[in-house]
Structure 1
Amino acid sequence: MYSNKSKKHNRFSFFKLFSIFVLLILLGFTANIYLNSQYELLTSNFYNEFNNYNFSDAKSILNNKVLTIKKNKLNNDLTSYFTDVVNKVCIALSNSEINSNKALEILNEIKDYDILNSSLDKLITSLDESHKNIATNNQDSTTNNSKSSLDNDETFNYNEDSFLNLGISAFNSNDYDTAMKYFNKITDSTSKDYEIAQSYIKDYKANYKEYLLESIDELVANKYYTKAINILSNYDASLLAKEDITEIENKINSITMFREEYSGEDSEYTSNAILQEITPNNINSLSIASKTAYLVYLNLDKQMTYVYEGSNNNWSLIKEFPSSTGIDGEETPKGIFSVTNRGEWFYSEEFQQGAKYWVQFMGDYLFHSLPFDESQSNIVDYTIGEPSSHGCIRLEVEDAKWLYDNIANYTKIIIN
């Protein structure tokens, strides 16, 4: 009798612990949804208040604890937003749509956030000096009908060094479109700044495809699919070869598919799935769906790839592959993806190695075999089970071939 009671007690304790575990997961998931929705609402309100010059109200919005939790994301978003505001201020000044007094007010307010670098300080200094010079000239003028500098700043002389620094800052942040706008404002062909700006412009045009794709990688990684698609859709066809245009169009289609996948009916569950380790014990409680009969899960900590077969909440583990992912600085992206393409062989001149049986899931990120030399005969690196790649996932040759032969396009891939 004691033994039976003990067993019942153990079963009850296990059920209780399991219930608490599930409850914690649901609470965490709900909290995450709430935080994201609040973040979007608060930042939208901030942009609206700042755009309407309600600077005090805008600043008070940022005191919310939700934004403190998402500090890194907020800094990135504010950097992008303020860079765009500075650019619009410069354009408005050049078109005499605003006066230097209003421009200084806006720029000094941005400076208080300590987000942009010293290039903003140089722009403010340049504008402030010009504004003071104009005010002095107006005071010395004996013509009562002369227009006030607060109404017309046509004599404002831009400090092109400011534009150069802002352009370089934007360029280094992979915001190439904004960088080009700043560089193109430097028009004095006799200045050193002009020469430097032109070198950036020339480099950008010569490597346009690479820069274009690079600018959207971080957006895709952070699920900003619509913004990434908009950037790619506005490509300059004159700077691309025919095959490059095809690649860009394929990239747009690929990201569109990711966006549909992420915003699908099961997006809440798959977003939750990426927050935890997926195992045979919990996979059928996560409501993870795939558009094929397979699901691929890569565990970065364990350096293992797992293949499941079945359907939503009815998955069975059928394959386990030791893997090798990206090294520090070239990490394999985390996220929810889908298989988009495949091939039997590729070779990289940059790294002087290639690989067999590649399966693509995002841009240049692939599952593929251990690396081979150009002859396709000799493996040049046998490392497996620890990070050693440039971001792709390396598998044993026979494992890569199995994935290539069996995992169809649109199969869901989860990496965490």
Structure 2
Amino acid sequence: MNTTTNNKKSTNLSLFRFFIICLLFIFLAFGANTYVNYNYNNKMNEFYSAFNKYDFDTAISIVNNTRESNILKRNQLNKDLNLYFTGIVNTVIKSIQSEEISDENIISLLYEIKKYDVLNDSLDKLIASLDSNYVYKPTSESTIENYSSIDDTKATDNDPEEDLSTNLIKDDSLSLGISSFNDKDYPTAISYFNKIPKSSLDDFNVAQDYILNCQKNYKTDLLADAEELIANKYYTDAIAFLSSYDTSILSSNDKDIANKINSVEMFRDEYNDHIQSYPNDNSAYASAAILQTITTDNINTLNIESPTPYLVYLSLTDQTTYIYEGSTNNWTLSKSFLSSTGLPGKETPKGIFSISGRDEWFFAQEFQQGGKYWVRFMGDYLFHSLPFNETQSTIVDETLGVPASHGCVRLEIEDSKWIYDNIDDGTKVIIN
């Protein structure tokens, strides 16, 4: 009896010590993060004060020391410098137009900014337009494609109607936007591109293309980071991460993000249900369903449930939809349908879903295509037949076996009808 009591006390004491150690680590991490942020903010305030007072030697010394001593803040430092100097350059451009500051003083200031290696081509272009001794050499293809050479720009001096400072102001938003885009600072890039008026048609069209690329690249990076969290089973963190995306870049009701969040929520619930049912067996599930290819050899080792007697598995690698029949750990491959999923940039979402709704026909005006015998597995994503024209008389694309769709899953007509007729709402769908 005494031995049992002592063992319990020892266990409780160990748990208490573990709890205290965890709290200590959390406290230390929080304290370290607070100190790093506090120190960084102080240094930046010192830098702003020095640069604003034209104490350039002190200013650049502060930045160089911060770069060397605070590795964790290097990305933040570059963003802050980019934003700060962008504001100064905008002020400089206005001063050029109003002739409030001499060209000599402006050039001196711009050369100081150049020492920080920010703004890149946009800064070089501005310096070259003011300093005849400076040779402008674009460093990116995008800049070369979208801007005339410095010689061509200076040629406008021959036209008394054309003012170089006016050209600089017109071009500057595009130039700074491209620089921010190349630095992957998409919010700043979009803010510059949105300043370009429609009256400058060529620049406006270029800016609109860049805005689309900002949105595409940001979404790609966002989903990739979320996938990394998902792969490590941080489902709640992935949902929070996706839910807090920057709505200045993507719409607040972006369909792809909403669909991804829905997918992660379903997979999290699936995982939690499994852990509750099999508390000592999370290792098997960790590599199950979405994290590995499902085959007839392993499907009955993954504890996959479905509310109906059917389970739908779509292999993106095989471009094949597999229909399993049975129940948990007793699934038998019943049918397989050659399929076509989404093209690059319009990929069919990965995840765990369920069938929810169906109809015999739809037509998408946007793509001038429709499909027969569709069933929904998430949002606007469907299993449906090969695409038809609006009159349902002609198949407009017979491609199967390779990605070809706008995100839905295309099937032979008879295969889509079989799913329409036999797979009930609620049936689980796994796509990977």
Structure 1-normalised TM-score?
Answer: 0.51
Secondary structure at the aligned position of 2:311 is classed as: strand
Tell whether 2:266 aligns with 1:261: yes
1:266–1:288: 8 Å Cα contact kept in structure 2? no
User: Paired residue for 1:353?
Assistant: 369
| 1:276 Cα deviation from its structure 2 partner | 3.5
Asked if the contact 1:251/1:363 (under 8 Å) is kept, the reply is no
Any idea what the Cα deviations from partners look like across 1:347-394, whole Å, max 9, x if unmatched?
Answer: 234543211233344565432111222112433444434444344321
Determine if the alignment matches structure 1 residue 165 to structure 2 residue 175: yes
Q: After superposition, where does 1:104-143 map in structure 2 within 5 Å? A: 104=114, 107-108=116-117, 120-125=119-124
Looking at structure 2, the residues matched to 359 and 258 of structure 1 have their Cα atoms a distance apart, in angstroms, of: 17
**In the alignment, what sits opposite 2:191?**
181
CA distance in 2, matches of 1:200, 1:414: 37
Alignment of 1:206-245 (within 5 A): 216=219, 219-220=222-223, 223=226, 226=240, 228-231=242-245
Name which one, 1 or 2, has greater alpha-carbon Rg. 2
**Cα distance in 1, alignment partners of residues 427 and 111 from structure 2:** 55
Quote the sequence identity (%): 39
- 1:122 CA drift (Å): 1.8
**Residue 196 of structure 2 contacts residue 207 of structure 2 at CA under 8 Å; is this kept in 1?**
no
Letter of the 2:431 counterpart: I
1:410/1:316 CA distance change after superposition, 3 Å:
closer
CA spacing shift, 1:337–1:165, aligned 2, 3 Å: farther
**What residue in structure 2 maps to residue 400 of structure 1?**
416
Give the whole-Å Cα distance in 2 for the aligned partners of 1:310 and 1:286. 14
Contact 1:229 1:255 in 2 (8 A): no
Q: In the alignment, is the contact (CA less than 8 A) between 1:93 and 1:100 conserved in 2? A: no
Which residues in structure 2 correspond to 1:317-328 (within 5 Å)? Answer: 317-326=333-342
List runs of 5+ in structure 2 lacking aligned partners. 1-32, 44-62, 92-108, 132-167, 227-237, 273-281
CA contact (8 A) 2:120 2:179 kept: no
Matched, 1:414 2:426: no
Aligned-residue offset at 1:303: 2.5
Task: Give SS of 1:323's match.
Answer: strand
SS in 2 for 1:373: coil
Deviates more, 1:169-178 or 1:363-372: 169-178
- The answer for the alignment partner of 2:351 in structure 1 is 336
CA distance in 2, matches of 1:165, 1:376: 48
Q: Distance in 2 between matches of 1:173 and 1:362?
A: 35
**Preserved contact between residue 342 and residue 404 of structure 1 (Cα < 8 Å):** no
Establish whether residue 379 from structure 1 lines up as the match of residue 395 from structure 2. yes
Task: Find the counterpart in structure 2 of residue 284 from structure 1.
Answer: 300
Q: C-alpha distance in 2, partners of 1:347/1:219?
A: 31
Q: Partners in 1 of 2:304 and 2:113 — Cα distance?
A: 51
- d(CA) in 2 for partners of 1:340, 1:178: 41
Please say if residues 221 and 335 of structure 1, whose CA atoms lie closer than 8 Å, have aligned partners that are also in contact.
no
SS in 2 for 1:266: helix
Q: What is the letter of the counterpart of residue 84 of structure 2?
A: V
CA RMSD of aligned residues (A): 5.4
* Counterpart position of 2:83: 88
CA distance in 1: counterparts of 2:373 and 2:40, whole angstroms: 52
Contact 1:291 1:412 in 2 (8 A): no
Out of 38, 58, 68, the position equivalent to 1:56 is 68
- Taking a change above 3 Å as real, the CA distance of residues 198 and 291 of structure 1, as seen in their structure-2 partners, is farther
CA shift digits 1:204-234 (9 cap, x unpaired): 99xx9x9979964663466365455444867
Cα contact 1:100–1:131 (8 A) shared by 2: no
Cα 1:332–1:124 shift into 2, 3 Å: same
Return the alpha-carbon distance in structure 2 between the equivalents of residues 314 and 291 of structure 1: 14
From the superposition, tell whether residues 167 and 61 of structure 1 become closer, same or farther in structure 2 (CA, over 3 Å).
Answer: closer
Q: Distance in 2 between matches of 1:165 and 1:336?
A: 40
Contact kept, 8 Å, 1:167 with 1:183, in 2: the verdict is: yes
The answer to whether the 8 Å contact 1:297/1:306 transfers is yes
Q: 1:386 to 1:257 in 2, by over 3 A?
A: closer
Q: Call closer, same or farther: CA 1:333–1:274 in 2, change over 3 Å.
A: same
Instruction: State the distance in 1 between where 2:217 and 2:364 align.
Output: 18
- C-alpha spacing 1:222/1:236, structure 2 compared with 1 (3 Å): closer
